[in-house]
Amino acid sequence: MNFEIGTIDIIIVNYNTRNLADLCISNLLKLDLKLEIIFIDNNSSDGSYQYIKGKYGGKIICVQNERNVGYSAAANKGIRISKSKYVIVLNTDVLLTKKFIIKTVTYLEENTHVGAVSGKLIKYDFNKMESLNVIDSTGIVVYKNMKMEDRGQNETDLNKYDNNIEVFGVSGAAPVFRKKALEDTKISGEYYDEDFFAYKEDIDLSWRLRAFGWECHFVPEAVAYHGRAISRSISILNMKRHREKQSEFIRRLSFINSYLILIKNMDSRNIIRIIPRELLKLTYVIIFEPRLLKTIPTIIKLGKKMLQKRRSIRRKIKNKSSKVFFE
């Protein structure tokens, strides 16, 4: 496939990750593809914008927000600037390969009913600059109890996930979208929901794409590398240790958005299925992270907005064939 300007744009959202952004962009420019790179900085305090603009200003589009508007709003700005048929919204800690871009775009060209695709993301150690050969994501799965996770995460890559399949959603680290699908599914001018400041915005958008009849697929030949650490085996103690490494801000956002996504998207007939899991989650919070309970007023306030958006979505998909499914 001949990649000309106008085929695909890559949107990079940055906040205080200057060195990673530099590595991400330099890697893209080495791929020998005619890409439009759009760098959106969320008013970083580490000199990211000045450094990137000074080094790459003649080769990429650089935009700086006056304040940190959040991941979703920054990504939306990049999507609006984009003029191409396809867009990749890329984390700064992801290294794309030429094959990743060619395979994902070719797949979208050949499958016009698909709105978004995920490639095979492999965990990467940026300190050693080497692949860990451990899967980070092969798409997102959502179970009937509304547990949401990256498919295959933390498994050694042993060719288990080497088939093109339909998945619930695309990983937010390097999703590849058909611009037409994003335009079709936007609500109040927003592609990503900007009330999701960060975290779970990728699942929310994937859910909406499916509700509008667009499919999300996994393309195994499209390999990229994501700088995310390997998690330990799942247990209460390990989960507690992992969460203690996260800032309270991140934990608050994740907790709030875990409810907003359900209020906005979940079929009310599935409520009974989520009760056991939600009771376990609340028990954990009460015992180990009671400060999160202070977010309940925020959840109630934003929950009302989610109900309004839910109604808007339901009206728009009235005559569409929904493709939502759960594992």
The tens digit of pLDDT for each residue in 142-175 reads 999 999 999 999 999 988 999 999 999 999 999 9
Q: How far is residue 50's CA from residue 62's CA, in Å, rounded to a whole number?
A: 10
Does 283 lie in the same domain as 161? Answer: no
Q: How far is residue 194's CA from residue 73's CA, in Å, rounded to a whole number?
A: 5
**Cα 120 versus chain centre, distance:** 14
In the chain, the number of structural domains is 2
According to the model, what pLDDT value does residue 249 have? 84
Q: Dihedral of CA 50/55/57/62: which sign?
A: negative
Does 139 lie in the same domain as 72? Answer: yes
Does 221 lie in the same domain as 242? Answer: no
Does 135 lie in the same domain as 72? Answer: yes
Does 44 lie in the same domain as 189? Answer: yes
Residues recorded for the chain:
327
Q: Give residue 32's region: left, alpha or beta (phi > 0; psi -120 to 50).
A: left
Q: How far is residue 218's CA from residue 113's CA, in Å, rounded to a whole number?
A: 14
Does 290 lie in the same domain as 142? Answer: no
Does 272 lie in the same domain as 222? Answer: no
Q: DSSP assignment of 126-144, as one string? A: TTTTEEEEEEEESSEEE-T
Q: How far is residue 102's CA from residue 8's CA, in Å, rounded to a whole number?
A: 10
Q: How far is residue 109's CA from residue 131's CA, in Å, rounded to a whole number?
A: 29
Asked whether residue 253 is assigned to any structural domain, the reply reads yes
The CA-based angle 185-189-193, given to 5 degrees, is 70
Q: Dihedral of CA 106/111/116/120: which sign?
A: negative
Asked whether residue 258 is assigned to any structural domain, the reply reads yes
Averages of pLDDT over runs of 10 residues in the chain (327 residues) are: 75 97 97 94 97 95 97 98 97 96 96 97 94 95 92 92 95 97 96 94 96 96 88 56 70 93 90 90 91 95 96 87 75
Asked whether residue 212 is assigned to any structural domain, the reply reads yes
Mapped onto helix, strand or coil, the DSSP state of residue 245 is coil
Asked whether residue 215 is assigned to any structural domain, the reply reads yes
Residues 211, 275: contact at Cβ < 8 Å?
A: no
Position 74, amino acid: A
Q: How far is residue 15's CA from residue 305's CA, in Å, rounded to a whole number?
A: 27
CA 104, 33, 132, 39: dihedral to nearest 10 degrees?
Answer: -90
Does 284 lie in the same domain as 156? Answer: no
Q: Where are the beta strands (DSSP E) in 76-226?
A: 86-90, 94-96, 114-125, 130-137, 140-142, 148-150, 165-167, 176-178, 215-226
Q: How far is residue 225's CA from residue 142's CA, in Å, rounded to a whole number?
A: 23
Residues 217, 114: contact at Cβ < 8 Å?
A: yes
Q: How far is residue 168's CA from residue 324's CA, in Å, rounded to a whole number?
A: 7
Does 214 lie in the same domain as 272? Answer: no
Domain extent at residue 63: 8-226
Asked whether residue 45 is assigned to any structural domain, the reply reads yes
Question: For the domain that residue 60 is a member of, what is the CATH number?
Answer: 3.90.550.10
Asked whether residue 319 is assigned to any structural domain, the reply reads no
Does 118 lie in the same domain as 214? Answer: yes
Asked whether residue 321 is assigned to any structural domain, the reply reads no
Question: Which tokens belong to 175?
Answer: 């999703």
Does 219 lie in the same domain as 93? Answer: yes
Of 180, 197, 226, the residue at which a domain comes to its end is: 226
Of 166, 191, 226, the residue at which a domain comes to its end is: 226
Does 146 lie in the same domain as 31? Answer: yes
**Cα 115 versus chain centre, distance:** 14
Q: Which residues of 111-132 are buried (b: 16+ CB within 10 A; e: fewer)?
A: eeebbbbbbbbbbbeeeeeeeb
Asked whether residue 325 is assigned to any structural domain, the reply reads no
Q: Alpha carbon of 224 to those of 133, 272, 304, 324: distances in Å?
A: 11, 38, 38, 27
